[in-house]
Amino acid sequence: MVYLWAFLLGLLQAASFSLGTTGSASGLLQVLSLAGLFYLWAVSRRVVWVTFCFGWAWLGVGLYWLHFSMHDIGGLPAPLSGLAIFLLASYLTVFYVLAALVFRRFESRAREFESVHTWCASFVIGLPCLWVLAELGRGYVFTGFPWLMGGYAHVDNPLTKGWFAIFGAYGVGFVASIFAAVMAWLLVSLTNRRGDVSRSVETLVMARVVVWPVFVVAALAVVGLVLQGVSWGQSATSLTVRLVQPNVSQSIKFNESAIVRNTELFLKVAASSDAPLTVFPETALPYPWTMAPQAPLAALSDELKKDAGAGNSRAVIMGSVGVDAVQRDADGQPTLYNSAMWLDANGDVFNPARYDKIHLLPFGEVVPFGFQWFVDAMNIPLGGYGRGDSMKPFSLQTAKGVVNVGVNICYENEFGEELIRAWDSGDAAAPNLIVNVTNLGWFGTIDVSTSQMQHLQMSRARALEMARPVIVATNTGLSANIDAAGEVVDLLPPEKAVIQDVSVQTMTGRTPFTYWGNLPLLAIVSFVFGLNIFLRHRYSGA
């Protein structure tokens, strides 16, 4: 029965990211399901299988949409596709299993042999630290996969969203896990009373020891509410951005006739755009840029140069495949990159400035050792991309001043601690606007897939972390204009070919997160572990 409860709690955890809940409901559901898991960790003797049941439901069901890329597009047999998702969910759950085992080792000893204060500290302080370390582990090890991380359920939660600018998504998940741990501890303490003291003494002790956990939760919630009202950035230049969502089906994306037709159409759209910035999605032109047709590119270059002298420069971001003729792969071929081309009047459209994706997607863009057979089993042009090395933003000269435009591609949207490298040279050289170009058409349509909503949640978290507007340009949806407060200002209809102009208020200024990333969170976790050890010694035998 306990395994069924764990599985149901995992489903609730997945639902907090996937069912489109709004306001505090999504965050509340995430906290409640996590509190249920923590309670099971405390009362069950088989925490390993409890955690696996929770993880299979949370991560397996939450990531089911990977099946569409592997089976529907890649042609992988359904059983093998399902097995791959199961193994991925199992691997990610291992980090939480390790956290559960460490927690049970110390919590059980505190409950049975030490003071109620130490027991409380193990639960309320130690458990959230272990949980966030598990989150960090799966977000970093083997390039990381932090999709469905707890903090992303809280982009609309007024009690927690203010913490994004301070500690980032991991920190918000840490705060949420403290809420969950306190709830679970109160439930355990009420249902599993200690037997080595009298009921009257126990009631007195419990009344005293309940105060500080409740105070911590209240303080975190109040500060979170206050932080929500803090403006970390300052308004800079308003900018019109033309979002192009072409809605090209993945079944024809690499079809030769479709590529020719789309290339002609996209370059015409780019040339005719009068917006200061026009953005196309990831690999809109899915071939090496050196193969792009000369005549349409020359026409685009002429159009971009028309108004350049009047200070009204225009630029186009076009997803394509960058080519490095100097660096070669093991077979002597030019290195290819998943790139975003920056086309403007100051550059050469035939050899443009570009952003090369830095954090590559395992299996999709880089093949882990020993898994080439798995990639070969799918009929998709995958793997073989080089790794970029610079996050320097592009400069767009407008009549109102220069706008620095930072770009990242698809999967990089998950890694806020890496995107803040754009601030390495200070705020003056940092992005005023962040653009994420992606193609979620691999993962099913929005009526059957939750990947689009999950990606949008992460994009909103990035806006909150960096106090910057975020433009999301996707192939099939959800393309969006998100302001610096993480609110969706414009949302293009999914699964439709749409060209829409959106008004963006660019920003300057820095959040604490852009200064320090995850370092303060790691310092807090280290301090809390030290405090937990101190309390264990202080109250041992009390």
Catalytic residues: 282, 357, 410
Of the candidates 50, 37, 44, the one whose C-alpha atom is nearest the C-alpha of residue 184 is 37
User: Quick check: helix, strand or coil at residue 234?
Assistant: strand
Residue 380 carries which side chain, given as an amino acid letter?
Answer: I
User: Quick check: helix, strand or coil at residue 495?
Assistant: coil
Let me know the angle formed at the C-alpha of 523 by 517 and 529, rounded to the nearest 5 degrees.
140
Strands of 234-245's sheet, edge to edge? 353-356, 334-344, 315-328, 277-279, 234-245, 498-508
Query: What is the Cα–Cα distance from 96 to 339, expressed in whole angstroms?
Result: 35
Alpha helix positions (H), 192-330: 199-228, 256-272, 294-306
Query: What is the Cα–Cα distance from 315 to 300, expressed in whole angstroms?
Result: 10
Burial track 373-385 (b if 16+ CB lie within 10 A, e otherwise):
ebbebbebebbeb
Of the candidates 429, 130, 476, 97, the one whose C-alpha atom is nearest the C-alpha of residue 282 is 476
Query: What is the Cα–Cα distance from 317 to 435, expressed in whole angstroms?
Result: 9
> Could you write out the three-class secondary structure of 357-377?
CCCCCECCCECCCCCHHHHHC
320 close to 339: Cβ distance less than 8 angstroms: yes
Cβ neighbours of residue 197 closer than 8 Å, sequence gap 6 or more: 205
189 close to 56: Cβ distance less than 8 angstroms: no
- Please give the C-alpha separations between residue 32 and each of 5, 10, 184, 318, 440, in angstroms, as whole numbers: 13, 11, 9, 43, 30
153 close to 27: Cβ distance less than 8 angstroms: yes
Query: What is the Cα–Cα distance from 516 to 514, expressed in whole angstroms?
Result: 6
Q: Structure tokens of 2?
A: 């306990």
Q: Is 460 exposed, middle or buried (0-12, 13-18, 19+ CB in 10 A)?
A: buried
Q: Structure tokens of 16?
A: 């907090």
Cis amide bond preceding 478, omega within 30: yes
